[in-house]
Structure 1
Amino acid sequence: MTQNVALDLGWVPSACTLPTTEQPLRVAEFDALFADAVQAVVRPEPTRLRLELVCSPEHAAQAAELAARENGCCSFFIFTLTIADGSLVLEVAVPAEHVEVLDALSERADAVEPA
């Protein structure tokens, strides 16, 4: 990652079932995906985030695996991974009551320079 972002877990919702000791590790996994693969961050609406990723089998697998594990502890997330026409996009949606979580995720993704 080209820019160091302080680890702030204050935005983790009470609905998250991931053990507290594992939360910093999960944030680091998202940071690694952002640093390695994100080319563009788009926020088409307050409850939806679009991450345009470097299209490769490795990044698709990394994004899919991370999204599946995250959905296991924070079931309010809706992840959609799209591979089409040489592009790889991870969309993340949340209900309005969890928009602050999406805000924090978007800020972390924006904090890295494009891959």
Structure 2
Amino acid sequence: MAKLLYTLKIFLFRNNLQALKLTTREEKQIIRFVSFGVLIYTKIWVEAALAADAPVNDLLLWKSLKFYEAIDSKIGVAARGHLWYLPDELVALALFSEKPSDCEKQTKVQKTNSDGGNRSV
């Protein structure tokens, strides 16, 4: 989180600091990193302390990264590559959270029963 905060400060003050002369490439990379951090990472980081909702948060992260590919496909694909640790049982554990509605839970159960192991989200 510290890297994101420092990069966010650089992004916010990039035009005000004479000592900080960013190249166009550096500025693009900072914008990409800050966009990912603000849109995806911060929400997940804040909710990480809620252990009961961890399985649901992991599934929501997976979905968010899939949608983020439309914004920045390179970062979206790279970040989703780090979700190798998500087992199929995560869907069942997500049913114990109070976050999804009963209707959403029922849909997940039906999809799990009908898909036969298909891992698409």
TM-score category of the 2 structures, normalised to the smaller one: 0.3 to 0.5
Higher relative contact order (CA 8 A, sep 6+): 1
Which one has the bigger helix percentage? Answer: 2
TM-score by length of 2: 0.31
Structure with a larger share of its residues in strand: 1
Select the structure of larger CA radius of gyration. Answer: 2
